[in-house]
Structure 1
Amino acid sequence: MDGHGFGPKLLGLFPGGRIEEFIPSRTLTKEEMRDTGIIASLATLNAKLNSIDMPLPKAPQLIPVCRSWLARYVINGGGPVEMKQTAVHGEVEFPKVLTMRQLEEELDEMERFLEKQPSPSVFCHNDIVESNVLVRKEEGDKDDVVDESKLVIIDFEFGCYNHRAHEIANYMAEHGMKYGLLSPPYYDTDLRAMEDEEYARTFCSAYLDQLYKDHDSEAKLKSQFLTGNREEDLCRLMAEGRRYLGLPHLFWGLWNMICAQELEMVNGIDLLVHAKDRLVMYYKFKPNMYKY
């Protein structure tokens, strides 16, 4: 990634590992992630990231990855999930017991949905949250001042090609997640924040401006399903994010099902409880797939 200007510089490789540049820094806070200037800066960085070419399968990987995680869950001895909402507020309709067959059917439906979507397949980080964004610190810097040009995206563990809409939707989904709370379940959710119009417009506006810079011809714009009409294209990006909003929750729900088997808890969070809440939110936002 450092060859494209992202993440720490790679200094060397050895059997079983690698040596990377140490970056004097700190991670962003949740409050900073909600700052208008930082939202725009991250959107710009994300658009640049989504425009690079990586030597990876170019087809969207969401479904293959989710299927592999579901298979791994079953191999690990996993079975039906007794559903319960813990930190998801309000009424949500979802199955009381979620079987493996039902999850397979959800993935089948999602696959059919994705096949029809006019969103380009781009290299995605898939997990840009405050803990995965560093702020470079230099001598004389003040801790309370964030220079947006010093933001560094790290941890590409989940990096792969996906629809651009998935990356946008993951931003919107994480906007409504809050971790690090002092009492169980040690996280909370805000469903309204996940569909916040102002946040989506701020992010997508800066993202679109960078897309226009990176795709400066009619043919390039067409490859991104863009017209060059700014308001029309902005509405498209915002609609993409809303339409895909349930998908990151299913993605993280399946991931947390595996983590619950193999890790049990991280930072005090019961990962099975978190997995169930993610699946509840998938069902909450699933209608968006056909609404926008």
Structure 2
Amino acid sequence: MAIKKIELLKWFASNEEMMEVLTAVATDLGDVIEDVNSLVVIPLKGAMTNEVFQINWPTKSDGHLRRVLVRLYGEGVEVFFNREVEIQTFECMSRHGHGPRLLGRFPTGRVEEFIHARTLSAVDLRDPAISALIATKMRDFHNLHMPGAKKAQLWQRMRNWVNHAKSLCSPKDAKNFGLDKLDAEINILEVLLSEGYEEIGFCHNDLQYGNIMIDEETRSITLIDYEYASYNPIAYDLANHFCEMTANYHSDNPHVLDYSKYPGKKPSNIEVEQLVTAAEKYTLANHLFWGLWGVISTLSAVDLRDPAISALIATKMRDFHNLHMPGAKKAQLWQRMRNWVNHAKSLCSPKDAKNFGLDKLDAEINILEVLLSEGYEEIGFCHNDLQYGNIMIDEETRSITLIDYEYASYNPIAYDLANHFCEMTANYHSDNPHVLDYSKYPGKKPSNIEVEQLVTAAEKYTLANHLFWGLWGVISSYVNTIDFDYKEYARQRFQQYWLKKPTLLDSSRIISQDGNVNNIS
């Protein structure tokens, strides 16, 4: 709904102040706002801390609409975070190439660049392809070097919130929420969760779907709204994100969390193990494939071993494998190699044919086809030549493009992975581009110890997450005027804390508590 009434921005001190800020922004962008009536204001829904508006005006050059985002700060939110620190974070993130640019500030809000991308929906968070993109972006975020001490901010922030909640709540609400027990709970959690896996990184701390945007064309992800961002255990940030999968803030009951949507506890690694094992075996077929290519051909930069880039490539490969392309969805690998064997025999001298063992390869191909097809076999559309020269990256958006499809066809996706792993041993721009360095091969089955540690830690940190947002809900119910049932939201969060705690914290030091949290009036 577009509204040509600037009075909708009720928190501005005056129309004059508003026009001064927007006029300055327009001038910086090469535009002129001559009339307040030329502004179109569109309220954006879903924010629970601030009020957010899209403001449009015609550009000076061609009359197309210029879009900016105006964020009006919520009342009473200074207890949750320091606004000046949040602004510094915002500006620092922008310098790192993350998020929108800051275009202008005023006492009760700011003007931001409008990101031309789609805000995710609740359903999107559970889409495996989108989830993989978010995971990659989170890893980049966690590795940022930001101002401030690199230590967890979570615990002291919650202690501050407990004190503030006590000062706001009636005795009845304080009792119903169990506020008198929370200082002890926070102390216990800090000790127990800090004993195990603990990797500190710069965390968003509020990765609900409304704070994640996707460019549908480039598939690049942008994380926005850094009010709660700080250094914390990255397991906490993951825990928070998993908990947000239970929410739908655009439903008829936006405060109600559906824990059937939670992604579960430790995911099974069976399919991952199957795929890794199959890919490992398919390196045999890969060596034959490119060995034959080398016989027939004359040998005519993305760093494949960079973990962050490798994650981007993996996501792109998955998209590629899911393409629906013309032709029968069956492996083309085996017949192609048989054809190449015949062609190689027609080209080679008897000496070379003997040296290369061409007379044995038909039998080897037959054996491989039978043995490898017996196990894990997922057919997808494969690139089949993912060496670094066929992978391009946009340094600004971090989007990956695969090029050169001469060898692309349907094949076992394990073969495509095997090929990619083998390509990690190559450097086609070295003095000896034909020499493969197998010390660069990523190895056989990777250890899952760190993954398991992180999953376990994230699972336990959901407890801290329930406390964190439960306290936020209690305080917000007193200080925020946005139409949202903060008390009920807090009740659910505290209820989940008490229900999950006995199973997640196997310790004699935990405090027992009835899992039922009273209804809050």
Which TM-score applies when normalising by structure 2? 0.43
Counterparts in 2 of 1:262-281, with a 5 A limit? 262-263=479-480, 266-267=482-483, 269-281=484-496
Aligned to 1:187: 256
Amino acid at match of 1:160: S
More off after superposition, 164-173 vs 193-202: 193-202
Q: List gaps (5 residues or longer) in structure 2.
A: 1-92, 272-305, 312-444, 508-521
Hey, what's the Cα distance between the residues in 1 that align with 2:166 and 2:160?
10
Aligned to 2:50: none
Aligned to 1:89: none
Q: List gaps (5 residues or longer) in structure 1.
A: 84-96, 137-145, 203-207, 214-227
Q: Deviations over 1:108-150 (max 9, x none)?
A: 21222233233111110011111001234xxxxxxxxx34633
Deviation at 1:46, TM superposition (A): 0.3
User: In structure 1, the residue corresponding to 2:190 is in which secondary structure?
Assistant: helix
Aligned partner (choices 308, 333, 353) of residue 210 of structure 1: 308
Hey, what's the Cα distance between the residues in 2 that align with 1:171 and 1:201?
24
Residues 200 and 122 (structure 1), Cα distance of their counterparts in 2 relative to 1, 3 Å cut: farther
Residues 160 and 167 (structure 1), Cα distance of their counterparts in 2 relative to 1, 3 Å cut: same
Amino acid at match of 2:501: K
Structure with higher Rg: it is 2
Counterparts in 2 of 1:86-125, with a 5 A limit? 97-125=176-204
User: In structure 2, the residue corresponding to 1:37 is in which secondary structure?
Assistant: helix
8 Å Cα contact 1:38/1:148 also seen in 2? no
Hey, what's the Cα distance between the residues in 1 that align with 2:309 and 2:195?
22
Aligned partner (choices 177, 182, 186) of residue 247 of structure 2: 177
Q: Deviations over 1:4-41 (max 9, x none)?
A: 12110234556665543222233111122211111000
Aligned to 1:247: 464
- RMSD across aligned C-alpha pairs, in angstroms? 3.2
Amino acid at match of 2:486: L
Residues 200 and 14 (structure 1), Cα distance of their counterparts in 2 relative to 1, 3 Å cut: farther
Deviation at 1:191, TM superposition (A): 4.6
8 Å Cα contact 1:243/1:290 also seen in 2? yes
Deviation at 1:231, TM superposition (A): 1.9
More off after superposition, 23-32 vs 40-49: 23-32
Aligned to 1:287: 502
Aligned partner (choices 121, 132, 141) of residue 29 of structure 1: 121
Higher relative contact order (CA 8 A, sep 6+): 1
Deviation at 1:253, TM superposition (A): 0.1
Hey, what's the Cα distance between the residues in 1 that align with 2:171 and 2:210?
31
Deviation at 1:201, TM superposition (A): 11
Aligned partner (choices 147, 150, 163) of residue 58 of structure 1: 150
Residues 103 and 241 (structure 1), Cα distance of their counterparts in 2 relative to 1, 3 Å cut: same
Q: Deviations over 1:233-279 (max 9, x none)?
A: 22222112112222111110000000011126x44x31111101100
User: In structure 2, the residue corresponding to 1:188 is in which secondary structure?
Assistant: coil
Residues 80 and 160 (structure 1), Cα distance of their counterparts in 2 relative to 1, 3 Å cut: farther
Counterparts in 2 of 1:231-242, with a 5 A limit? 231-242=448-459
8 Å Cα contact 2:193/2:457 also seen in 1? no
- Identity among equivalent pairs (%): 28
Deviation at 1:99, TM superposition (A): 3.6
User: In structure 2, the residue corresponding to 1:177 is in which secondary structure?
Assistant: coil
8 Å Cα contact 2:470/2:493 also seen in 1? yes
Equivalent pairs, count: 248
Residues 259 and 280 (structure 1), Cα distance of their counterparts in 2 relative to 1, 3 Å cut: same
Hey, what's the Cα distance between the residues in 2 that align with 1:240 and 1:76?
33
Deviation at 1:162, TM superposition (A): 0.7
8 Å Cα contact 2:248/2:254 also seen in 1? no
Amino acid at match of 1:153: L
Matched, 1:161 2:240: no
More off after superposition, 109-118 vs 157-166: 109-118
Aligned to 2:99: 7
Deviation at 1:167, TM superposition (A): 0.8
User: In structure 1, the residue corresponding to 2:213 is in which secondary structure?
Assistant: strand
Amino acid at match of 1:161: Y
Deviation at 1:178, TM superposition (A): 3.1
Matched, 1:127 2:206: yes
Deviation at 1:45, TM superposition (A): 0.2
More off after superposition, 274-283 vs 1-10: 1-10
Hey, what's the Cα distance between the residues in 1 that align with 2:310 and 2:122?
29
Hey, what's the Cα distance between the residues in 2 that align with 1:111 and 1:21?
38
Deviation at 1:194, TM superposition (A): 4.2
Q: Deviations over 1:143-171 (max 9, x none)?
A: xxx34633211000100111111011112
